[in-house]
Amino acid sequence: MKTTTHSVWIVLFLILVALMPAQAKDETVRLSYPSKVESSKGKEREKLFTPWMTSESLRTFIDDKRTKGEQIVFFEYNNSTGQSRGIFVSKLKLSGPFSRWSFTSEAAMEEKLNNEIKAGLQPAFISRNISGAYSMLFVSPQDMTAVRAQLTTLGIGEPRLKK
């Protein structure tokens, strides 16, 4: 009887130990707060935005601007019109990869946030605009300081993340 009880406890212990690493590996990041976008610098930012355009047009525009030495640092997506606009700066040259994304749901945004972080990129900003759409720019760690400096001058704070 003691041997059977002892064996049952050993089996239960081994099952618990086997399940523990699966729980410990969950490194999902959850958005705590989007970047604070200062309203006091709104008029200044408004002057710098491109006109509203389709996502495909903005993608082409980004490529054209990069060949001219300009980099997108902030953008917005309007989910009611399906159009985007961006702010470009010439003082910034990214040395690593970057990506930009827009989402209308928090769940989709968080999924992409996690995927980009796992791929080694960091969120320079995450904003949620009046239309409820999320916009995010990801850059390589070596470019983060320069990008954050540009965003700070525009009144765009860092996103705060929690695990």
The model's pLDDT over 78-120, given as tens digits with 9 standing for 90+, comes to 888 989 999 999 988 889 999 999 998 888 999 999 999 999 9
- Residue 85 domain flag: yes
Q: Considering only CA atoms, which of 99, 65, 73 is closest in space to residue 154? A: 73
Domain residues for 109? 28-162
Q: What was the pLDDT predicted at 21?
A: 44
Number of structural domains (the chain) is 1
Band (pLDDT 50/70/90 cuts) for residue 57 is very high
Q: What was the pLDDT predicted at 137?
A: 95
Q: What was the pLDDT predicted at 30?
A: 67
- Residue 60 domain flag: yes
Structure tokens at 18: 């086997």
- Residue 51 domain flag: yes
- Residue 34 domain flag: yes
- Residue 8 domain flag: no
Tell me: the pLDDT tens digits for 138-162?
999 999 999 999 999 999 999 988 7
- Residue 126 domain flag: yes
- Residue 74 domain flag: yes
Beta pairing, strands 134-139 & 83-89: unpaired
Compute CA 60 distance to the chain's CA centroid, rounded to the nearest angstrom. Answer: 21
- Residue 15 domain flag: no
